[in-house]
């Protein structure tokens, strides 16, 4: 009887510690025609406001975000690359509407990809990956690299997340790039919200009432508001814009040396 109780308690504790990656787009995303819809609590970005942002696509459909770190490298989330094979991926830059061809757009196929050596698919620590491209992006006003932050933003810092993710948890996806401003939460507050499963070294949390990233935003950039300095990578969380649970992002500063080594 004691053995059964211990096993049951261990199973419950283990299940409680494993965060679900809600930021991935469903395998069959639903598209709507309502162009007035917005990312959870946000609004449509200006065209080419984020020239470093990437739409990672599989068989022509957006599934995760990313950011340009060099002419032939894209930063994204490890849980995004784990879900696909590299030969299925195309990286699309310079686009505002992911459902139409745009003269400013550039599309490159992937040649390989690497997850951070410390990535843990159960805890989502070190949730970053680099996708290598078969040919180089041509940089211009619409396609540029992001700046990787060497320091973590302090609690209360206003940050911006952008992407083509769903407009509500499990909801429809927009065709045009959306953005939303949120604020960095303190580690103690976020860790309390998530009952002690937040890793302070590799994760940061950000929230603002009714505002958040959502499915399909995974791998996309979290930047200091008004800049092109990336501080986080969209990673995971419970629900979308749930007032009880902030969005969780992989810290760029903690993984910057590995990203540069790639």
**Catalytic residue among 55, 114, 127, 199, which?**
127
d(CA 154, CA 206): 11
Residue 130 has a CB neighbour count (10 Å cut-off) of: 24
Residue 188 has a CB neighbour count (10 Å cut-off) of: 11
Among this protein's residues, is 218 annotated catalytic? yes
> Which residue spans within 116-228 are E strands per DSSP?
129-133, 147-148, 158-163, 178-184, 203-207, 221-224
Maximum alpha-carbon separation in the chain = 68
Backbone angles phi, psi at 132, to 5 degrees: -95, 140
**Catalytic residue among 114, 207, 208, 218, which?**
218
Secondary structure (3-state) at 110: strand
Among this protein's residues, is 116 annotated catalytic? no
d(CA 198, CA 216): 22
Tell me how far CA of residue 127 lies from CA of 21, 88, 199, 204, in angstroms: 10, 20, 12, 12
Please choose, from the candidates 103, 101, 58, 109, the residue with its C-alpha nearest in 3D space to the C-alpha of residue 216.
58
Among this protein's residues, is 79 annotated catalytic? yes
Please choose, from the candidates 23, 33, 82, 22, the residue with its C-alpha nearest in 3D space to the C-alpha of residue 58.
82
**Catalytic residue among 79, 96, 173, 193, which?**
79
Cβ-contact 175, 31 below 8 angstroms:
yes
* Residue 229, beta-bridge partner list: 147
| Active-site annotation, residues | 79, 127, 218
């Amino acid at each position: 009887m004691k053995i059964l109780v211990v096993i049951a308690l261990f199973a419950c504790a283990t299940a409680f510690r494993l965060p679900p990656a809600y930021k991935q787009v469903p395998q069959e995303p639903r598209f709507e025609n309502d162009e007035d819809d917005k990312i959870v609590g946000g609004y449509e970005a200006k065209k080419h406001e984020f020239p470093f942002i990437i739409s990672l696509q599989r068989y022509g459909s957006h599934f995760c975000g990313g950011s340009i770190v060099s002419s032939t490298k894209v930063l994204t989330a490890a849980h995004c690359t784990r879900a696909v094979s590299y030969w299925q991926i195309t990286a699309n830059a310079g686009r505002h509407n992911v459902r139409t061809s745009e003269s400013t757009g550039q599309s490159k196929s992937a040649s390989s990809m690497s997850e951070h050596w410390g990535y843990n698919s159960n805890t989502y620590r070190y949730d970053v990956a680099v996708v290598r491209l078969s040919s180089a992006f041509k940089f211009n006003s619409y396609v540029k690299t992001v700046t990787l932050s060497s320091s973590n933003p302090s609690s209360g810092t206003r940050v911006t997340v952008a992407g083509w993710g769903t407009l509500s948890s499990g909801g429809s996806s927009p065709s045009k790039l959306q953005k939303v401003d949120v604020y960095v939460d303190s580690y103690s507050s976020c860790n309390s919200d998530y009952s002690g499963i937040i890793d302070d070294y590799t994760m940061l949390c950000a929230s603002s009432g009714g505002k958040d990233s959502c499915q399909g935003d995974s791998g996309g950039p979290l930047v200091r508001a008004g800049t092109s300095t990336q501080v986080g990578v969209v990673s995971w969380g419970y629900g979308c814009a749930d007032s009880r649970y902030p969005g969780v992002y992989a810290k760029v500063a903690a993984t910057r040396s590995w990203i540069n080594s790639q």
